[in-house]
Amino acid sequence: LKNLLKDPGLLETRGYVGGAWVEGDKGTFDVTNPARGDVIAQVSDLSREQAAEAIAKAEVAQKEWAQWTGKERAGVMRKWFDLMMQHQDDLGTILTAEQGKPLAEAKGEIAYGASFIEFFGEEAKRVYGEMIPGHQRDKRLMVIKQPIGVAASITPWNFPNAMITRKAGPALAAGCAFVARPATETPLSAIALAVLAERAGMPAGVFSVVPSSSASEIGKEFCENPGVRKLTFTGSTEVGRILLRQAADQVMKCSMELGGNAPFIVFDDADLDAAVEGAIMCKFRNNGQTCVCANRIYVQDGVYDAFAEKLRARVAAMKVGDGLEDGTDLGPLINHDAIDKVQEHIADAKAKGGEVIQGGEADATNGNFFGPTIITGATRDMAFATEETFGPLAPLFRFDDEDEVIAMANDTIFGLASYFYAKDLSRVYKVAEALEYGIVGVNTGIISTEVAPFGGVKQSGLGREGSHHGIEDYLEMKYVCLSI
Ligand code: ADP
């Protein structure tokens, strides 16, 4: 992997704690390339004590960082952003090697990830307070916003760069210090971010990375250490619940970006070709391994067969392969468990009357590859109706009318992203308002941007990331009552 990089210094394998590069007290753990299964790095395995040390150093550094002006913090963040973009190719290569997504997508993630550092650096200057007219003649009321303190993050493997920057951007801009625990599968992208933070002149202790093979150990330290004032997590609803319970003892502020089960609805007045393109982007980006990927595709009766055929033709032409090779549309899944889950969902659907019209097979020669799959005749008793598949499986449900599909779309504990294609203006308003989701894409399959608030309702999470709202998750409000 080092040979593929223009700047081999980006491939660092140690942890970054309080501005120092550290070996792991617990030795190392292996990082493998999901496309080939070979070990690409041995990364320092930090202990719970080392996580505590990172928190202690962050507490000290945060006091000073919070004193910096917004413009000063913005200056360092701008340099960090510039370095990420300068090294976009190398960062993308590292990301593809550890995560599997095609290189073009990986580079796209680097630009997306970097955009949060740029955007929130700019926002650092705009953490405005408020003056409230006094409730008595001698009173002057003022509201100021201050950083919460040390923020700790736990992030998943599907976006090894952007899930960290989306949290670190607003945290650092607000004046919080940040301790990141990347996913065990993908620590290299996180560590590369630390290399660039150091080069950008980020003060020691403000941004630390604690790679570890034991998520639960580090998670406990983050929840139990009184030095941490804010926990920010992206991952499954199941683990989110565990962390919320653990964080309760300290009444810690939490942001949670949890699972989704996104509906993608195609009404009979939709532009079908656009809907097919949207479905491809939305379903198969990162091989279906994003929390905003379409999980249930609902197609109105009148256009069902035409949509299924157009989608099948597009999907049949997609190339599955090593993400580092040219022309790859879909990389491997992250590991064999992910393949098993897709296969279980296909078997379950077939047993209940679903028909596989495309794909359905794992590539026997190469463990983690799976052909993109379409199932027609999907029904609400099938597993994917209630559970995220997190893989390249597109089930097509048939529906008759608007109210019926809204009810089906909302019939889930999740509420992250939703999508629909329609042209009728009153239908567009009605459905957008009726969907119980934090995000609605209308006539588009791609909704992520740093300038908009990303987050879920119901059991998909707490808080929002991105946009000017995103920084609020890292700020405390203080009311000052002055008698003159
Ligand atoms: P995913 O299916 O995306 O991997 P998970 O919720 O399992 O979702 O994992 C998200 C992150 O949470 C990963 O970095 C994982 O290592 C971590 N994690 C898993 N279990 C725990 C736990 N008990 N405490 C803290 N972190 C955990």
| Residues 6+ positions from 313 with CB-CB distance below 8 Å | none
Tell me the pLDDT band of 40, cut-offs 50, 70 and 90.
very high
Q: What confidence score (pLDDT) does residue 362 get? A: 82
Place 366 in a pLDDT band, splitting at 50, 70 and 90: low
Supply the pLDDT for residue 50: 98
Does residue 123 contact residue 174 with C-beta atoms inside 8 Å?
no
For β-strands 207-209 and 355-358, DSSP reports them as unpaired
User: Is the CB of residue 23 less than 8 Å from the CB of residue 44?
Assistant: yes
CA 224 to chain centre: 24
For residue 341, what are its two tokens?
């889950």
Predicted pLDDT at 410? 98
d(CA 422, CA 407): 17
In a 3-state reduction of DSSP, which class is residue 266? strand
Q: At what angle do helices 237-248 and 215-224 cross, to 10 degrees?
A: 30
- Asked if 59 is an active-site residue, the reply is no
| Spatial contact of 254 and 298, defined as CB atoms under 8 Å apart | no
Would you place residue 196 in the very low, low, confident or very high pLDDT band (cuts 50, 70, 90)? very high
Banded pLDDT at 365 (limits 50, 70, 90)? low
- Per-residue pLDDT band for 361 (boundaries 50, 70, 90) equals confident
Beta bridge partners of 255: 232
- Regarding the beta carbon of 443 and ligand 1, being less than 6 Å apart is answered no
Three-state DSSP state, 397: strand
User: What is the interface pTM, i.e. ipTM, of the complex?
Assistant: 0.96
The Å distance, Cα 217 to ligand 1 centre, comes to: 11
pLDDT tens sequence across 212-259: 999 999 999 999 999 999 999 999 999 999 999 999 999 999 999 999
| Residue 236 Cβ contacting ligand 1 at under 6 Å | yes
Does the Cβ of 211 fall within 6 Å of ligand 1? Answer: no
334 CB within 6 A, ligand 1 = no
Dihedrals phi, psi of 149, to nearest 5 degrees: 140, -135
What is the rounded average pLDDT of the residues 182-194? 98
Catalytic residue from among 123, 221, 257, 450: 257
- Cα torsion 351, 354, 356, 360 to 10°: value is -50
pLDDT digits (tens, 9 = 90+) for 422-462: 999 999 999 999 999 999 999 999 999 999 999 999 999 99
Q: Which residue among 45, 161, 233, 239 is best mutated to probe the pocket of ligand 1, counting the most ligand atoms within 8 A of its Cβ? A: 239
Q: What is the mean pLDDT of the chain?
A: 97
